[in-house]
Amino acid sequence: MTMASETPEFDGPTESTGTEMSAAAAWVAGRRFPLEVGEIRVDERGRIRSRDDAAPLRLGFAYRGVEYRAEVKTASEPQVRLTAELGKLPYSMEIGEGRRLIRRILHESARVPHGRIGLSEDDDIRLEAASTPPAPFTPASLMATLTALLFDFQPYLDLVGRVLDDARRAKTADTPGRAG
């Protein structure tokens, strides 16, 4: 039995003869399927390589105008951690009721079992959530895990977004020389 670390790397299709195809066949034969997140990488020349390090994978995406970051640990038990900076807590002068509502939303979001929406020391409103993806840990299960985390927090994210939009509108309307 050939161990995965002993299998040759597949450099991708080239114009060379059977050597490259033999390497590809050996590489595929040495893998278990489905391939899981973190098992392979693509090098700077576009070749498929085994990924041997246990460093977390990082990715980012935008959803409904907010930038999210995910850190994916692929070691013995995979873990997906999702974070986002949602905005600043409005000043009382901007929208006092909104400030109180944000604090209430933060308190209520603690009911979500996989994370929370909280405040930093600088009054940044921040989402922090984490979950263990289902096995096998394929790209599809990674997407399902990220989607489930967003779905769990969506009502709170919507409310925070509305309050922050109201605060921006109130600030713009109060700025001299600007029409509201």
Instruction: Give residue limits of the domains in the chain.
Output: 4-50, 57-174
pTM: 0.72
**Which residues is 127 bridged to in the sheet?**
84, 117
Q: Is residue 3 pLDDT above 50, yes or no?
A: no
- Joined together, the tokens standing for residue 169 give 């509108």
CA distance readout (Å), 113 to 68, 86, 104, 116 = 19, 19, 17, 8
Segment 95-146, tens digit of pLDDT: 778 888 999 999 999 999 999 999 999 999 999 999 999 888 888 999 999 9
Segment 60-94, tens digit of pLDDT: 999 999 999 999 988 778 899 999 999 998 876 56
Cα separation, 102 vs 119, in Å, equals 10
Cα separation, 150 vs 90, in Å, equals 23
Question: In angstroms, what is the C-alpha Rg of the chain?
Answer: 23
* Per-residue buried b or exposed e for 16-45, using 16+ beta carbons within 10 Å of the residue's own CB: eeeebeebbeebeebeeeeebbbeeeeeee
CATH fold for the domain made of 57-174: Yope Regulator; Chain: A, (3.30.1460)
The residue-averaged pLDDT of 21-41 equals: 70
